[in-house]
Structure 1
Amino acid sequence: MKKFILFTLKMLALTIVIAVVLDFLYTAVYLQSSNRGKIDHIYNSKNRNFDVVILGSSRANNHFVSQMFEDKGLKTFNYGMSGGHLFEASLLLKLMMERHYKIATVILEADLNLSNDHQAEGISAKFLPYLHQSETIKRHFEQEDDFKELYYIPFYRYIKFDARIGFREMFFSVIHKKTTHLNNLGYYPLGKKPNANLKNNIVNLKPLQHNRYYEEIKQICKANKINFIAVMTPMCENTEGINYFDKVQKLYPEIHNYENVVVEDKYFSSCGHLNNTGARLFTAQILKDFFNK
């Protein structure tokens, strides 16, 4: 029995040592990576200057054509992330401030994600390699239910989110394999899909009266003298519950409603996402209304 307990303790100690070493190695790789995605692109940078930064979900990523801003003399990057929530958008902006970015204007796509204030695990996992290095990231995750496990158990975060930050992603970071996330100044153009489902149902969506992360973004902009523009972006015509956007504007009158600025199905790749032609029409309207361009 004594030998068994001793063996168990040795194996436990060895497991902990291996976990600590692997945690150190994986983290060291991510601390050198800056071309895999928008999060590492920000974390491993500093002192960037932008006239316009775009934040939001895929409805930002696919709707704001960065090059059109650039063509008007506005240095711009689209940091919208497909699948992301306002939890991640707020943290991205906090990281930019931590990295001493100078930003004149933030455009936030704020519509469907106002209905929740929780993280999008698949996206938020990308912040976790920096959990011990960034006080900003640590504070942002502190209220999450699994924070203690993620923070205190070595290598646990890499195991739990293996599909996002595990061996495959770490290896691609080692060999500096690029993704498409940073192409086109962060904008991801969509094509026209012949058999796309141009119907949607958002009847059950309800905007929160107070969305914590939306308010955080507003406050960060105010504190750093950043011009803040919040907009709702287009949805296809055959959307049930389209009055959701009216509910948003009632609760948040400062958010500009552009839901119906582009309406024909030919401009959509899916019900909630404009194709490249539609995105260009939408971006042109934003430039005209807010930048006199």
Structure 2
Amino acid sequence: MNKFLIYTAKIVLLIMLIAFLLDGIYTYVFMQSNKRGKIEQVFSSKAQKYDVVILGSSRANNHFVAQMFEDKGLKAFNYGMSGGHLFEASLILKLMLERKYEIKNIILEADLNLSNDKESDGVSAKFLPYIRNSEVIKEHFASEENFSELYYIPFYRYVKYDGKIGFREVYKIVSNEKTNALDNLGYYPLQKHKNGNMKNNIVNLNPLPHNKYYEEIKNLCQSHNVNFIALMTPMCENVKGMDYFDKVKKAYPEIHNYENVVVEDKYFSSCGHMNDAGAKIFTARILKDFFTTK
């Protein structure tokens, strides 16, 4: 019996040592990465100065043409993240401020994601390699149910989210394989697809009366003297439940409603995402309304 217990203890110890070793190797690799994504770029960066920073989900990533801001003499970058929620938008802003970014204006796409205050597993996982190297990331995840496992169990986060931060991603970093996430100043243009879904139903969607992460972003802007511009962005013509945007305006009167600025299907890749032509029309309107000296 004693031999069995000693053997079992050795196996457990060996597994723990391997987990610690792999955790250290993976984390070291991610700490060297700054070219594959927006999160890595911000984490690895030093103080930056921006006139305009764009935050939000894919409806920010695909709708705000950052180069058009640059053409007006405004240094800009689109940090919208496809699949992201306000949980991740708030965290990436916190990282920027932790790194002493100087930002004059934040444009936040705040519409559909006001209906939840949950993390997006696919996007939030990309912050996890740095959870022990950033107090901001640690604190942001501290209220999540699985925080203890993610923070204290070595290599657990890399196994749980293997599809996002596992071996394949580590290999791509080591191979210096780039993505298009940082192209076009962060803006991702979409094309018109003849088979794109031009119908949507948001009848059952309701904005939370007090979205925690929206309030965080707004308060961070206020405390750091950043001009906060929250916007609702367009959807195609065939949407059921468009009164959702009226509900948002009632709950958050400071959010500007631009859902009907572009409506024709020819300007959309899918019902919730404009194509490049639509995004340029929309961005031009935002520049005119908020960045033109009157």
TM-score range, shorter chain: over 0.9
C-alpha displacement at 1:171, in angstroms?
1.1
2:242 maps to what in 1?
Answer: 242
C-alpha displacement at 1:176, in angstroms?
1.6
1:223 maps to what in 2?
Answer: 223
Deviations 1:55-104 (A, max 9, x none): 00000000000000000000000000000000000000000000111100
Partner amino acid, structure 1, of 2:126: K
C-alpha displacement at 1:50, in angstroms?
0.5
Mapped to 2, the partners of 1:67 and 1:176 lie a distance apart of 26
Mapped to 1, the partners of 2:200 and 2:194 lie a distance apart of 17
2:101 maps to what in 1?
Answer: 101
Partner amino acid, structure 2, of 1:190: L
Q: Report the TM-score, using the length of structure 2 for normalisation.
A: 0.99
5 Å-filtered alignment, 1:168-183, equals: 168-183=168-183
Mapped to 1, the partners of 2:197 and 2:97 lie a distance apart of 40
Q: Report the TM-score, using the length of structure 1 for normalisation.
A: 0.99
1:150 maps to what in 2?
Answer: 150
C-alpha displacement at 1:210, in angstroms?
0.2
Mapped to 2, the partners of 1:209 and 1:96 lie a distance apart of 27
Mapped to 2, the partners of 1:255 and 1:80 lie a distance apart of 17
2:117 maps to what in 1?
Answer: 117
Report the 3-state secondary structure (helix = DSSP H, G, I; strand = E; otherwise coil) of the residue aligned with 1:123: helix
Report the 3-state secondary structure (helix = DSSP H, G, I; strand = E; otherwise coil) of the residue aligned with 1:218: helix
Ranges of 4+ aligned residues in structure 1 off by more than 6 Å: none
C-alpha displacement at 1:174, in angstroms?
1.3
Mapped to 2, the partners of 1:105 and 1:91 lie a distance apart of 17
5 Å-filtered alignment, 1:127-142, equals: 127-142=127-142
Partner amino acid, structure 1, of 2:279: A
For structure 2, list consecutive stretches of 5 or more residues without a partner in the other structure.
none
2:251 matches 1:251: yes
5 Å-filtered alignment, 1:52-131, equals: 52-131=52-131
Mapped to 1, the partners of 2:195 and 2:23 lie a distance apart of 45
Mapped to 2, the partners of 1:4 and 1:37 lie a distance apart of 48
Partner amino acid, structure 2, of 1:221: C
1:191 maps to what in 2?
Answer: 191
Report the 3-state secondary structure (helix = DSSP H, G, I; strand = E; otherwise coil) of the residue aligned with 1:30: helix
Deviations 1:117-173 (A, max 9, x none): 000000000000000000000000000000000000000000000000000001111
2:200 maps to what in 1?
Answer: 200
Q: CA RMSD in A?
A: 0.6
